[in-house]
Amino acid sequence: MSLQVEHGVSLKAYNSFGIDVSAAQFAQAHTDDEVCAAIAHAKAQQLPLMLLGGGSNLLLTADVQALVLRMSGRGIRILSDTLERVVVEAEAGEPWHPFVQWTLAEGLAGLENLSLIPGTVGAAPMQNIGAYGVEIKDLFVGLTALDRQTGEVAEFSLEDCQFGYRDSIFKRQAGRWVILRVRFALSRAAHLNLAYGPVKQRLSEQGIDTPTALDVSRAICAIRSEKLPDPAVLGNAGSFFKNPLVPADLVEHLRKQQPDLVAYPQACGQSKVAAGWLIERAGWKGFRQGDAGVHKLQALVLVNYGNATGTQLLDLAQRIQADIKQRFAIALEIEPNVV
Catalytic residue numbers? Answer: 166, 239, 335
What are the φ and ψ backbone dihedral angles of 191, each rounded to 5 degrees?
-120, 85
In the chain, the amino acid numbered 102 is W
What are the start-end ranges of the H helices in the chain? 32-44, 96-105, 124-127, 158-161, 169-172, 197-205, 213-227, 248-257, 275-281, 310-328
Exposed, middle or buried: residue 315 (CB in 10 Å: 0-12, 13-18, 19+)? middle
In the chain, the amino acid numbered 300 is L
E-only strand ranges, 34-109: 49-52, 58-59, 64-71, 76-81, 86-91
CB 141 within 8 A of CB 100: no
CA distance 241 to 332: 6
CB 18 within 8 A of CB 60: no
Q: In DSSP terms, which residues pair with 175 in a beta bridge?
A: none
Q: In DSSP terms, which residues pair with 264 in a beta bridge?
A: 272
CA distance 220 to 199: 7
